[in-house]
Chain A
């Protein structure tokens, strides 16, 4: 069972909302109710063995952090590190297993392991930094790690934020209910009406990539929007489900393809992940390296090293393959280059040009994510550079239609999303949402899995 099933939308979700809402006034039942919904969802979506792994990792983290709090101050650093390393080791083993590096071991990546591991790691680190109080019970931490709206693909959560909302007053909030319903409809529509049809339209282009010419731009731009609508659609549905349960989740996207430079892009794309890496890797690493320097002047080399290292780790978090590593390295170099340009005095380009350049840079990077081999990526880049003419793909008869759809998406995606989610109430908007809902529900039969489930 995933978000895109009738059983989830019409059976599980209403049941979970009713159960959690019924426990609003009974503090002792809130956490068990949340945990129960999380366990039922995850066991149906991923199976009991994967649920056992998730609960085991949660238990180890809970016990480890408990030990940390009762141990002498001198050994806390070491203990905290051990908890984090234990969680990350499990994640790394599965990532390496999935990539075939460990032979037949761990070929199947447990659902959401990249996300729930990072949630548990941030819990351990936040408690160690005394930024968050330890979970009062294993049930509370398990309710956090199995929280069904986010367990499969985020957004990444911080335990302190979750606990605040779990233990706080959760009255029936009309604004949250409206946010929940709107986000569910918009998310469902993004996935079924845009991401999936777009994915189906461009798939033949990638399958036949050796015949691509300049039409590779069409394929890669289509993929960029498929990825965005797929992942942000999932995120909207997660935000919607959480809101119906009384939780406000952090935003994960902010019109990323309108970014005016590559740093701006990373402040708009998968925001909870960027913030996670900033807080737990980039800043500590930067500070540690800066402390070793006698002077803080001219630390551009340190900045570049930290940016590239962080982005390579972000790439590998997606998967232990050459393409993710290269994608992370590519973005790390872009960020380091942008930092140098930003600091260069007297350098500026018009906003429209920098927005277009940023979009093109992001597209060049997406080729790596879409290509299972370096040869395929090189061939597509060559096609985009015009080395293979106009292209002779089998899609040519439908090419203009696809191009028109993609141009429309580029032009309308951000304002349309703002209108549907944040505009004031109006009859037109209500009708638009109702039509979207009906069309989305009718389109659910031919669904494809969410792209970010593979991470």
Chain B
């Protein structure tokens, strides 16, 4: 899995589908849950997107603010498999 490509695809998905602003300048370390940019349902959308794109299943208990709050954390979780 190419980490850079995963990062950019996730950035595009989060900005376009979850934040609903394709031009949103999402930083790698920007908190997206604690800053109120996305909600719990968006985490479910994100998990299903990751399943479809990279066949990586993220269990529900991992969909938390501690583990999925920034793009950096999400990319790391996807690469973990």
Contacts and interface: CB of A to CB of B under 8 A. Distances in A.
Interface of A: 126, 129, 131, 263, 278-279, 282-284, 286-287, 290-291, 296-297, 299, 302-303, 306-307, 339, 342-343, 345
Contact of A286 (B21, B36, B44, B61): B44
B61 A297 contact: no
B32 interface: no
Interface residues of B, number: 20
- What 4 pairs across the A-B complex have the smallest Cβ distances? A286-B44, A290-B48, A303-B41, A283-B60
Given A290-B48, A306-B41, A339-B39, A129 B59 contact: yes
Contacts of A345: 20-21
A315 B20 CA distance: 31
A339 B41 contact: yes
A299 B13 CA distance: 14
A342 B41 CA distance: 13
A297 B16 CA distance: 9
A282 B40 contact: yes
Given A126-B61, A296-B13, 17 more contacts: A129-B59, A129-B61, A282-B41, A283-B63, A284-B60, A286-B40, A286-B41, A287-B44, A287-B48, A290-B45, A291-B48, A296-B45, A296-B48, A297-B17, A299-B41, A303-B41, A342-B36
A283 B43 contact: yes
B47 interface: yes
Nearest to A280: B60
A129 B40 CA distance: 20
30 contacts: A126-B61, A129-B60, A263-B39, A279-B61, A282-B41, A283-B40, A283-B43, A283-B44, A283-B60, A283-B63, A286-B41, A286-B44, A287-B47, A290-B44, A290-B48, A291-B51, A296-B13, A296-B17, A296-B48, A296-B49, A299-B41, A302-B41, A303-B41, A306-B41, A307-B41, A339-B39, A339-B41, A342-B36, A343-B20, A345-B21
Interface of B: 13, 16-17, 20-21, 36, 39-41, 43-45, 47-49, 51, 59-61, 63
A333 to B, nearest CB: 15
A126 B59 CA distance: 11
A88 to B, nearest CB: 18
B67 to A, nearest CB: 13
A278 B21 CA distance: 26
Contact of B59 (A131, A282, A286): A131
Contacts of B43: 283
A342 B16 CA distance: 15
A198 B6 CA distance: 56
A307 B44 CA distance: 13
Contacts of B59: 129, 131
A263 B39 CA distance: 9
B20 A287 contact: no
B31 to A, nearest CB: 15
Nearest to A126: B61
Max chain B CB contacts within 10 Å: which of A129, A296, A303? Answer: A296
A221 B13 CA distance: 43
A282 B47 CA distance: 14
A308 to B, nearest CB: 12
A342 B45 CA distance: 16
Contacts of B63: 283
B25 to A, nearest CB: 15
B40 A278 contact: yes
A129 B51 CA distance: 17
A28 to B, nearest CB: 31
A77 B49 CA distance: 24
Contacts of A290: 44-45, 48
Contacts of B48: 287, 290-291, 296
Max chain B CB contacts within 10 Å: which of A263, A286, A306? Answer: A286
A291 B50 CA distance: 11
Nearest to A130: B59
A278 B41 CA distance: 10
Contacts of B44: 283, 286-287, 290
